Amino acid sequence: MSEFEAEVKKAEKELEQSLVPVVTNIEEDASNKNFLNDEFLGELKVQAQEYQQKIQDAALKAKDYASEKFTQAGDKFKELSQKDPKELVEDAKEFARKKPGQTILISAAVGLVLGLILRGGRR
């Protein structure tokens, strides 16, 4: 074996020896990362469960609110359906005399909604 080949073999051995600790460090780093990932995922899971509970609470409140308003609207509808149309017109006129500003705002809102509905139907 020539001197050159001996130096190449020596360099290869040194290279192999220096690579072993690096591989071990990579494995240790990977296990540390797995631990950190598990810890991070655990925290995320806890936060997700907290948000899920908050969303469920908000949905329950919204359901209760909507149910209450639906019941009120149903009661008002029953009340209005029992009245005579002439009586309804008189009530509307009286309301307009007492509160002209609200009457204008209500009329504008109704007109806007009807306009959007009719315009949307043409598209």
For residue range 84-100, list pLDDT tens digits in order: 889 989 988 999 999 99
Residues 112, 56 within the same domain: no
Structure token pair of residue 90: 């008189």
* Domain extent for 28: 1-82
Whole-number average pLDDT of the chain = 81
Residues 6 or more apart whose CB falls under 8 angstroms from that of 85 comprise: none
Looking at per-residue pLDDT, the higher value among 49 and 17 belongs to 49
Number of domains making up the chain = 2
Within a 10 A sphere around the Cβ of 49, how many other Cβ atoms?
A: 10
Amino acid found at 45: K
Q: How far is CA 27 from CA 22, 33, 109, in A?
A: 9, 10, 68
Q: Is the pLDDT of residue 20 over 60?
A: no
The pLDDT assigned to 22 comes to 45
Name the DSSP class of 2.
-
Residues 30, 69 within the same domain: yes
Structure token pair of residue 84: 């005579």
Residues 55, 90 within the same domain: no
Residues 75, 26 within the same domain: yes
Distance in Å from the first CA to the final CA of the chain: 90
| 36-87: pLDDT as tens digits | 567 777 788 888 889 999 999 999 999 889 889 989 988 888 888 888 889 9
Residues 65, 44 within the same domain: yes
